[in-house]
Amino acid sequence: MNVALWVLQVVLGIFFVFHAYLLLRPPASLQSGMNYILEMPADLRRFAAIAEGLAGLALVFPPLLRVLSWLTPLAAAGLVLLMLGAIVFHVGRREYPNVGFNAILGVLAAVIAWGRFGPYHF
């Protein structure tokens, strides 16, 4: 189970850092399901990018470096809250495929938070 959590942490960490980069530096041509990036208020986009990027880094680096490893389950719990906010945002815009994707990401982050707070802490 510890190996599965590590794999999940690395995959989610990479995803959230990449999405944070897209939020901060959106490319000129976006996929059709990602128009929300350009239509988000600038402050909200900046906040989401910083929160996702820092949480993505905190999923991997503190336990890898064996420094402040308690940040990893807190980052995962923060990502759960961020995904709940993303679900509310996308429901208001009727972007239901994004709602499902955010729900899956939230559940995966919750698994990390549960595993690292509970039986599989570092």
Residues above pLDDT 70, as percent of the chain: 96
**pLDDT one-digit tens code per residue, 30-89:** 666 677 888 889 899 999 999 999 999 999 999 999 999 899 999 999 999 999 999 999
Q: Where are the alpha helices (DSSP H) in 1-122?
A: 2-24, 36-39, 42-65, 71-92, 96-117
Residue 12 in tokens: 């989610």
Collapsing DSSP to helix, strand or coil, 93 comes out as: coil
CA distances from 15 to 53, 93, 121 (A): 9, 23, 22
pTM value surpassing 0.85: yes
Taking the C-alpha atoms of residue 91 and residue 1, their distance in angstroms, rounded to an integer, is 34
